[in-house]
Chains A and B, each alone.
Chain A
């Protein structure tokens, strides 16, 4: 990670945090609504009492998960995610508590794609998905121009193929 290879330095887009917050807020609200409807039905048809308990537990779990994925995760993700690429390697680094560093040869990349859901579109962001023969990797949020530039760069470098595949 020193000498020959530089640690990756590029960061996610600036408005990643609000985008991720909105995204998980929406999904949590949907889950809460689903559990609410479940609770209401169980009350209306007077199901067993344990069905009420299940809905309380589920709502409780959703609220706990909301604290994590709306309050904390977006900030941590944005703070610790780094990526970088040369003409030979793609590097990804993420996480503080579970630090994770990956080094992927460009020649082993099989597909790159940019994706944009409604929330990311609202913030002008794209997520990037990079597939190799063995697994797939993602860069969660990049501004539009950067995302397309990175995608094209990777695609260009990944065109080089090694013998024996």
Chain B
């Protein structure tokens, strides 16, 4: 039997802190009303104490029963207080590794590490909430060593690359980048969110609204005070915005060695995301409208394993990269990928089809408007104006979508670029695509064009489509995909 280890004892403390965090407001109310003798206050106190005791006991029991071990090929995990579960997770299923060090972790010199697999369902990862840095390093090294080139066979051209290189840092943002980022992301608006949430919380407790209203009215009497107040608020907003961005993206670093890519970010809460280069399923380059104006782009690596919530998605390379740098970085990080610079546009007939396709939404909206005839702008014909404006908007956005669409099919790569206001470029390799489709509606058959689609592994699975390409090219696409047999290695 293998030597199974308990998790670090501090996990009990961390569980407790989590508990306190989620009950903080309730606890605060109970403490504030400590002198109160009403039955609600008493019940609250009893419930709080009860659940505190219960969660401590549960966490201690969990610590006693959870054990893990790692050998050269797999993790072995044992869990369950009453119902015992044993799990074995093989290293070759691991898609990416995330290390998260919160402020609390730092205080105790601890860290947390998550190994994401590509399987679906509840147990798709192996997570260690609290462990020593040295232990995290040991586990990560085990996984990394398993992934060494003698075990992982990729394309022939990879073998010419040096096997193990030193870690190269590709990018760290300068102060200028951070300031630019904080304006692009409108993070100075965060003061509104923070202010509103503080205000509403205070209001619940002390009913400050009446008080503030009177105060506010007295301020608004003088022009100078208003100007000063607004100016001060603006400075405060921008400062907080920059600080916020700095805390979130400060210490950002993109690095790689021969095998893996590492993305580090955060100052108080530090996150390290690492993925093996040949486990990158696709690359996605997104440009919001604002970023397009400023010439910035966000590059995301698509992994078959989970990549965290939207909030702290970690697979993104720095979201405010200058476009040229972004493309250059892809080439540096992923020598297997090539960004194809000159992409093809859709033919004119695709635009025709796109424009004459039925406007279902407009039709339904117009029927409703014609039926209810709401008065817009105090005009009887207001509903007609709204309907026409909607139609114009839809036509313009179809035009924009057409202008923004381009594609390229070259070598082993496919690259799609689409979007109306936001522009997204999706780049993947033939052998990473798991199936393809060609669809044609009657209208498309008349114009001899087709919609192609392909599916990539990700979480959730990515379905990419490109509408209205000439039928010959759709056929080429299928033939191109069928040649994937040449690229893939069979076990």
Point out residues on A near B: beta carbons under 8 Å: 1-5, 88-89, 97-105, 107-108, 132-135, 160-165
- Tell me which residues across on chain B come within 8 A of A160, comparing CB atoms: 490-491
Q: With A103-B435, A103-B437 as known contacts, state yes or no: A134 contacts B478, CB within 8 Å.
A: no
User: Which stretch (B52-60, B325-333, B455-463) binds chain A?
Assistant: B455-463
| A105 and B440 contacting across the interface, CB-CB below 8 Å | no
Q: With A97-B442, A134-B457 as known contacts, state yes or no: A161 contacts B437, CB within 8 Å.
A: no
- Tell me which residues across on chain A come within 8 A of B278, comparing CB atoms: 164
| B490 and A3 contacting across the interface, CB-CB below 8 Å | no
Query: Which one of B441, B456, B475, B478 has the greatest number of beta carbons of chain A within 10 Å?
Result: B478
| A103 and B436 contacting across the interface, CB-CB below 8 Å | yes
Query: Residue B170 at the A interface, CB < 8 A?
Result: no
| A162 and B489 contacting across the interface, CB-CB below 8 Å | yes
**Shortest Cβ-Cβ A-B pairs, 9 listed:** A134-B455, A99-B440, A101-B438, A104-B435, A134-B461, A163-B489, A108-B434, A102-B437, A162-B488
| A103 and B478 contacting across the interface, CB-CB below 8 Å | yes
Q: How far is the CA of A99 from the CA of B446 in the complex (A)?
A: 12
| B479 and A5 contacting across the interface, CB-CB below 8 Å | yes
Can you name the residue of chain B whose Cβ is closest to the Cβ of A5? B482
Number of A-B contacts (CB under 8 A): 90
- Tell me which residues across on chain A come within 8 A of B279, comparing CB atoms: 164
Q: With A5-B482, A135-B455 as known contacts, state yes or no: A101 contacts B437, CB within 8 Å.
A: yes
Point out residues on B near A: beta carbons under 8 Å: 118, 152-154, 278-279, 431, 434-442, 445, 455-457, 461, 463, 475, 478-479, 481-485, 488-491
| B435 and A132 contacting across the interface, CB-CB below 8 Å | yes
Can you name the residue of chain B whose Cβ is closest to the Cβ of A88? B485
| B475 and A2 contacting across the interface, CB-CB below 8 Å | yes
Can you name the residue of chain A whose Cβ is closest to the Cβ of B452? A101
**Would you give the shortest CB distance from B430 to chain A, in whole angstroms?**
10
**Would you give the shortest CB distance from A165 to chain B, in whole angstroms?**
7
Q: How far is the CA of A161 from the CA of B434 in the complex (A)?
A: 13
- Tell me which residues across on chain B come within 8 A of A108, comparing CB atoms: 434-435
Q: How far is the CA of A89 from the CA of B482 in the complex (A)?
A: 8
Q: How far is the CA of A105 from the CA of B278 in the complex (A)?
A: 20
Q: How far is the CA of A31 from the CA of B485 in the complex (A)?
A: 48
Q: List 10 A-B contacts (CB under 8 A).
A: A1-B478, A101-B437, A101-B438, A102-B438, A105-B484, A133-B457, A135-B435, A162-B431, A163-B154, A164-B279
| B475 and A165 contacting across the interface, CB-CB below 8 Å | no
Q: How far is the CA of A5 from the CA of B475 in the complex (A)?
A: 10
| B439 and A101 contacting across the interface, CB-CB below 8 Å | yes
- Tell me which residues across on chain B come within 8 A of A97, comparing CB atoms: 441-442
Other A-B contacts than A133-B434, A134-B434, 7 sampled, CB-CB below 8 A, are A102-B435, A102-B438, A103-B436, A133-B457, A160-B491, A162-B490, A164-B489
Can you name the residue of chain B whose Cβ is closest to the Cβ of A97? B442
Q: How far is the CA of A88 from the CA of B484 in the complex (A)?
A: 10
Q: How far is the CA of A35 from the CA of B488 in the complex (A)?
A: 55
**Would you give the shortest CB distance from A158 to chain B, in whole angstroms?**
12
Can you name the residue of chain B whose Cβ is closest to the Cβ of A135? B455
- Tell me which residues across on chain B come within 8 A of A134, comparing CB atoms: 434-435, 455-457, 461, 463
Can you name the residue of chain B whose Cβ is closest to the Cβ of A103? B436
- Tell me which residues across on chain A come within 8 A of B431, comparing CB atoms: 162
Can you name the residue of chain A whose Cβ is closest to the Cβ of B481? A103
Q: With A97-B441, A98-B439, A132-B435 as known contacts, state yes or no: A5 contacts B490, CB within 8 Å.
A: no
- Tell me which residues across on chain A come within 8 A of B489, comparing CB atoms: 162-164
- Tell me which residues across on chain A come within 8 A of B482, comparing CB atoms: 4-5, 88-89, 103
Q: How far is the CA of A82 from the CA of B434 in the complex (A)?
A: 21
Can you name the residue of chain A whose Cβ is closest to the Cβ of B437? A102
**Would you give the shortest CB distance from A91 to chain B, in whole angstroms?**
9
| B461 and A133 contacting across the interface, CB-CB below 8 Å | yes
**Would you give the shortest CB distance from A107 to chain B, in whole angstroms?**
7
- Tell me which residues across on chain B come within 8 A of A104, comparing CB atoms: 434-435
Can you name the residue of chain B whose Cβ is closest to the Cβ of A164? B278
Q: How far is the CA of A135 from the CA of B457 in the complex (A)?
A: 11
Q: How far is the CA of A133 from the CA of B458 in the complex (A)?
A: 10
- Tell me which residues across on chain B come within 8 A of A135, comparing CB atoms: 435, 455, 461
Q: How far is the CA of A135 from the CA of B434 in the complex (A)?
A: 10
| B440 and A165 contacting across the interface, CB-CB below 8 Å | no
Can you name the residue of chain B whose Cβ is closest to the Cβ of A86? B482
- Tell me which residues across on chain B come within 8 A of A105, comparing CB atoms: 434-435, 484
Q: How far is the CA of A160 from the CA of B434 in the complex (A)?
A: 14
Q: How far is the CA of A142 from the CA of B437 in the complex (A)?
A: 23
| A163 and B118 contacting across the interface, CB-CB below 8 Å | no
| B490 and A107 contacting across the interface, CB-CB below 8 Å | yes
**Would you give the shortest CB distance from A90 to chain B, in whole angstroms?**
9
**Would you give the shortest CB distance from B385 to chain A, in whole angstroms?**
33
| B441 and A161 contacting across the interface, CB-CB below 8 Å | no
Q: How far is the CA of A120 from the CA of B203 in the complex (A)?
A: 65
**Would you give the shortest CB distance from A87 to chain B, in whole angstroms?**
10
